[in-house]
């Protein structure tokens, strides 16, 4: 397959690069997602056998005051990509988020559960999902959560940085979800692209998150335990950590249909964290 990837520097794009050395990666300079037509044109001119979109507006708090731009990048451009792929008859794999849900209750969300984003980032990602489904091609939207890797910005790197100057951190304990390594997501995207090409009836919306579910505070404790840092983690409620964007308290995702359709299981995030810490050279 000649795979075309939108994104070049992000967490998932970086992992796709090591997995797919022969794929083409489009940076922002080569395809700006604030320009949906440019994205469609890039696909039409490269004529790939599959497209993976790993680029997005991921600054959750900033999106609250910049929703129009986030909507172009997360909504209109992925929809335009899906349409261009449908016209070429090639698979399109896109990554979405747990933040499309309101996070009520304690039951894991299934792909068919009602969406109700609490903030601008989630609203714009939902627009992307809906535009992609409307395009009607051999698409897969893979919703994931709490992405971490050795590259880019993520919670693991933030915690390690803060632990250098702090003996104790306060971290929210009432938001529960599945931390997911960017490498596991990249692997899943490639598997799904291949299977969609052979079997386009598998098109649809899927969930993929690391197991077991944990709170951000649990995640922080595991990071410090594995990295051998003495920093203590105090559980706090979300109300004690005010942010511009509201985040879902329940980010648990039911990933059953992803296994049923593609044979892909939930990755063990603690094992993947070990690999990332090794890569960062901070493991004990
Ligand atoms: N991060 C997370 O915790 C989660 C992410 N996701 C989803 O997973 C996918 C991958 O996320 P992740 O790898 O973490 O993302 P990152 O934040 O690590 O990277 C985002 C990428 O998008 C690119 N990008 C942003 N704006 C534009 C633009 N206007 N034109 C072209 N490229 C642009 C960035 O390029 P540049 O370097 O030029 O800025 C960067 O390469 C996204 O769809 C995201 O919504 C889902 C759940 C959780
Ligand atoms: C730094 C810090 C954060 N927190 C909280 C804030 C928040 O609720 C949680 C995680 O912080 P972050 O800024 O990493 O969260 P955030 O950027 O919202 O992470 C999200 O990004 C987008 C792109 C997604 O799609 C989601 O799945 C999710 O990964 O931890 C603390 O409680 N204490 C702290 O010291
Ligand atoms: Mg963030």
Encode pLDDT of 136-173 as tens digits.
999 999 999 999 999 999 999 999 999 999 999 999 99
The pTM of the full predicted model, rounded to 2 decimals, is 0.98
Tokens of residue 197, six digits: 């090409």
3-state secondary structure of 247: coil
Residue 60 lies in a domain: yes
Element (H, E) at 25: strand 24-26
CA distance 26 to 30: 5
Residue 231 lies in a domain: no
Is ligand 1 within 6 A of the CB of residue 148? Answer: no
pLDDT at residue 209 greater than cutoff 90: yes
Residue 33 lies in a domain: yes
State residue 113's pLDDT score. Answer: 98
Is ligand 2 within 6 A of the CB of residue 155? Answer: yes
Active site (annotated) includes residue 139: no
3-state secondary structure of 170: strand
Q: Name which residue sits closest to atom 2 of ligand 1, judged by CA.
A: 147
Element (H, E) at 147: strand 147-148
Q: Count structural domains, the chain.
A: 1
User: Which member of 57, 99, 121, 206 is catalytic?
Assistant: 121
pLDDT average, residue stretch 81-106: 98
Ligand 3 center to 260 CA (angstroms): 31
pLDDT at residue 1 greater than cutoff 90: no
Q: Name which residue sits closest to atom 20 of ligand 1, judged by CA.
A: 10
Residue 36 lies in a domain: yes
State residue 284's pLDDT score. Answer: 66
CA distance 155 to 239: 19
Ligand 1 center to 231 CA (angstroms): 29
Reference 125, options 154, 99, 157; nearest CA is 99
Residue 124 lies in a domain: yes
Residue 104 lies in a domain: yes
Please give the residue range of the domain that contains residue 54: 3-153+179-210+253-267
> For 166-203, what is each residue's pLDDT tens digit?
999 999 999 999 999 999 999 999 999 999 999 999 99
Residue 219 lies in a domain: no
- Which residues, at least 6 apart from 7, have a Cβ–Cβ distance to it below 8 Å? 13, 16, 25, 26, 27, 53, 54, 55, 56
> For 217-239, what is each residue's pLDDT tens digit?
999 999 999 999 999 999 999 99
| Cα–Cα separations (whole angstroms), residue 39 to 27, 253, 265 | 11, 30, 31
Residue 51 lies in a domain: yes
* Summary mean pLDDT of the chain: 97
- Which residues, at least 6 apart from 161, have a Cβ–Cβ distance to it below 8 Å? none
Is ligand 2 within 6 A of the CB of residue 153? Answer: no
CATH number at residue 145: 3.40.50.720
pLDDT average, residue stretch 29-49: 97
């Amino acid at each position: 397959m000649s795979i075309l990837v939108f994104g070049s520097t992000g967490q998932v794009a970086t992992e796709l690069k090591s997995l797919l050395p022969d794929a083409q990666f489009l940076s922002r300079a080569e395809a700006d997602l604030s320009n949906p037509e440019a994205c469609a044109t890039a696909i039409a001119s490269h004529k790939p056998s599959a497209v993976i979109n790993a680029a997005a507006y991921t600054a959750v708090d900033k999106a609250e005051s910049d929703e129009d731009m986030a909507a172009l990048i997360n909504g209109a451009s992925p929809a335009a990509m899906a349409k261009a792929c449908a016209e070429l008859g090639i698979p399109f794999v896109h990554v979405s988020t747990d933040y499309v849900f309101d996070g009520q209750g304690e039951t894991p969300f299934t792909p068919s559960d009602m969406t109700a984003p609490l903030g601008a980032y989630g609203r714009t990602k939902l627009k992307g999902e809906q535009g992609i489904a409307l395009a009607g091609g051999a698409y897969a939207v893979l919703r994931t959560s709490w992405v971490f890797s050795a590259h880019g910005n993520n919670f693991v790197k933030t915690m390690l940085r803060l632990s250098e100057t702090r003996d104790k951190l306060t971290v929210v304990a009432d938001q529960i979800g599945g931390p997911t390594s960017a490498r596991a997501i990249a692997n899943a995207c490639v598997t799904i692209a291949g299977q969609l090409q052979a079997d386009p009836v598998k098109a649809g919306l899927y969930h993929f998150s690391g197991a077991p579910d944990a709170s951000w505070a649990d995640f922080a404790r595991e990071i410090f335990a594995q990295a051998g840092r003495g920093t203590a983690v105090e559980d706090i409620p979300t109300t004690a950590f005010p942010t511009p964007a509201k985040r879902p308290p329940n980010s648990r995702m039911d990933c059953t249909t992803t296994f049923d359709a593609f044979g892909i299981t939930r990755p063990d995030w603690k094992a993947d964290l070990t690999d990332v810490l090794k890569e960062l050279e901070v493991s004990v």
